[in-house]
Amino acid sequence: MAQLVADQVPPHEPSGGHGHADAEHAANPYLAHHFDTPKHQFDSGKLGIWIFLITEILFFGGLFCAYAIYRSLHPDIFVYAHYYLDTFWGALNTGVLILSSLTAAWAVRNAQLGEQKKLIFNIVATIALAFCFLGVKYVEYSHKFHEGTLPGRYFNPTHEVWELESYQKAHGQHGSATAAEGHAAAGHEAAEPAGHAAPAGGEAKQPPPGAPVRPRNVGVFFSIYFCMTGLHGIHVVAGIITWGWLLRRAIRGEFGPAHFGAVDYAALYWHLVDLIWIYLFPLLYLIH
């Protein structure tokens, strides 16, 4: 985020030797001495943040690639595992993040127009919504820790898939209506080793007729789930820190029509975090 700093240069003493740009620099304490005009400074920072966002897209691309490979090889695992995710929380978080994108974009407008109070309000709203997002994620994660839907070999659920509300909703009470959905593709039918399949005290559970057999390696879905949402969550935390820093600057009245770059760059980053979630939500929660 070095490009954000370009805008943060402290007021410098007007010194000679800068030629034609001197007047501009004297009038705008936030214009760094190596830029001619505010627009020059803004455009440079903007190019910088876009290049940073490009590296972020490539960074997340690796995880999307892992997802694509694994889902194309084992679609049965994804269908099976997604019943353990609650669409309600995912959809709620999508709404929260989209709303925070609105407040972020609005904050940029406020900074551009020098609307001091509205700017502070919108930054506070963005931070509050970001915490809201993390709160929902906390609810989801802790539920998964309690239910044993954990990554890799730690996947040891306390409930079988046919006991889940989401499964029963999709398949009728007894889960027998759509037995032949192709969950159990040939070759992936093998159940988990006995030690894994039977959680303590739940050995006597009898699957209803037509209930899907647990495919091998369901835990890999949760490895992918935790990696993707975890990395995304780290980005939300980074966003909160950035917005907190901007809030401090906004309260000090450091933003206005000639120097709103930092708000704009942070908002761009925030929209990218939203953008990634826009893809994560259907890929993880809305599997059919």
Partner 1 sequence: MSDHDHENGHGAPASDEHGHSTEISHVTPVRMLIAVWGALMVLTVITVGVTVVDLGSQTNLVVAMTIATIKAGLVVTYFMHLRWDRPFHTLIFLGSLLFVSLFISMTLLDKSEYEGDIQEMYLKKGQ
Measured CA angle at 7 (ends 5, 13), to 5 deg: 105
**Could you tell me the smallest distance in angstroms from the CB atom of residue 24 to partner 1?**
9
Under rule CB under 8 A, residue 226 binds partner 1:
no
Under rule CB under 8 A, residue 22 binds partner 1:
no
Under rule CB under 8 A, residue 227 binds partner 1:
no
Under rule CB under 8 A, residue 23 binds partner 1:
no
Sign of the CA dihedral 277, 282, 286, 288?
Answer: negative
Which positions from 92 through 111 interact with partner 1, judged by CB under 8 A?
Answer: 94-95, 98-99, 101-102, 104-106, 108-109
Under rule CB under 8 A, residue 282 binds partner 1:
yes
**Could you tell me the smallest distance in angstroms from the CB atom of residue 62 to partner 1?**
8
Size of the site for partner 1 (CB under 8 A): 68
Only one residue has tokens 């509300």, namely: 165
Under rule CB under 8 A, residue 26 binds partner 1:
no
Under rule CB under 8 A, residue 146 binds partner 1:
no
Query: How far apart (Å, rounded) are the C-alpha atoms in residues 31 and 90?
Result: 43
* Residue closer to partner 1, measured from CB, 47 or 145: 47
Which positions from 174 through 193 interact with partner 1, judged by CB under 8 A?
Answer: 187, 190, 193
* Residue closer to partner 1, measured from CB, 91 or 145: 91
Query: How far apart (Å, rounded) are the C-alpha atoms in residues 264 and 96?
Result: 20
- The secondary structure of 85-120 as a DSSP string is S-HHHHHHHHHHHHHHHHHHHHHHHHHHHT-HHHHH
Within a 10 A sphere around the Cβ of 33, how many other Cβ atoms?
A: 13
Query: Buried b vs exposed e over 203-233: b needs ≥16 C-beta within 10 Å?
Result: eeeeeeebbbbbbbbbbbbbbbbbebbeebb
Query: How far apart (Å, rounded) are the C-alpha atoms in residues 270 and 236?
Result: 8
Q: Of the listed pieces 140-148, 207-215, 240-248, 263-271, which binds partner 1 according to CB under 8 A?
A: 263-271
> What is the greatest pairwise CA distance in the chain?
86
Measured CA angle at 147 (ends 239, 210), to 5 deg: 120
Under rule CB under 8 A, residue 166 binds partner 1:
no
Among 23, 51, 177, 237, binds partner 1 (CB under 8 A): 51
Binding residues for partner 1, rule: CB under 8 A, are 27-28, 38-39, 42-43, 46-47, 50-51, 53-54, 57-58, 61-62, 64-65, 68-69, 72-73, 75, 79, 87, 91, 94-95, 98-99, 101-102, 104-106, 108-109, 112-116, 187, 190, 193, 216, 252-258, 260, 264, 267-268, 271-272, 274-275, 278-279, 281-283, 286, 288
